Structure 1
Amino acid sequence: MAHVVADKAKILARVNRIKGQLEAFSKAVDSGQDCYQVLQLLASCRGAMNGLMSEVVENHIREHIVEAENKKAASESGEDLIEIMRSFLK
């Protein structure tokens, strides 16, 4: 996944922000914060993860399907992506 390496700094920055959001969620639970605030933090964590997944999937589609060397390679990458998305969406 050369696109992951090319966007490494950008992806790692997003991962670090997600770590911060998860830490805030953990602290909110530990300190007994109001249920609404805890749920809001959890929703923001989920949104951040979904955004990261969306970006990585988009880059994967562009590099391995749209710009594939041939139709067979594109098809194989598409099938791999379908399998990954099924597990992600469970």
Structure 2
Amino acid sequence: MTTNSPADHSTCSCHEPDVHGYNENKAKYLARLKRIEGQTRGIHRMIDEDQYCIDILTQVSAVTSALENVALALLQDHISHCVTGAATEGGDAADEKIAEAMKAIQKMVKS
């Protein structure tokens, strides 16, 4: 089984529909993303109001950091839930989930 198609990512190794590593923390993630959305709207407003460049850049940096923190937390949840579950199963499932996690880490490091 490969993990290249979107359908393969719909569930983790537990094989239960709609059960992902982040489910336990879903409300926290949604609240964090709502705050980030508000910060992003604030940046839009700052530009619209011709505010000072450095102040805008400071806010952009804060949003970037907040998104990186969300990404790291999601990655941790994925490793703790999906990768660990696949490792318990062993075989190709474990190899595929580890490779998938490594690709995600590589994307995060490059960005």
The TM-score, its normalising length taken from structure 2, stands at 0.71
Using the alignment, how far apart are the partners of 1:84 and 1:57 within structure 2? Answer: 8
Residue 82 of structure 1: aligned partner: 102
Give the gaps of 5 or more residues in structure 1. Answer: none
Please give the per-residue CA displacement for 1:21-58, whole angstroms capped at 9, x wherever unaligned. 10111111111110110000000010000000000000
Q: Which one has more relative contact order, counting CA pairs under 8 Å at least 6 apart?
A: 2
Residue 7 of structure 2: aligned partner: none
Identity of aligned residues (%): 23
Residue 39 of structure 1: aligned partner: 57
Using the alignment, how far apart are the partners of 1:24 and 1:61 within structure 2? Answer: 33
Is the Cα contact below 8 Å between 2:47 and 2:56 reproduced in 1?
A: yes
Structure 1 residue 7 displacement after superposition: 1.5
Number of residue equivalences: 90
The answer to which structure has the higher helix fraction is 1
Larger Rg, first or second structure (1 or 2) = 2
Using the alignment, how far apart are the partners of 2:83 and 2:40 within structure 1? Answer: 33
Give the gaps of 5 or more residues in structure 2. Answer: 1-11, 13-19
Aligned-pair RMSD on alpha carbons? 1.6
Using the alignment, how far apart are the partners of 2:28 and 2:38 within structure 1? Answer: 16
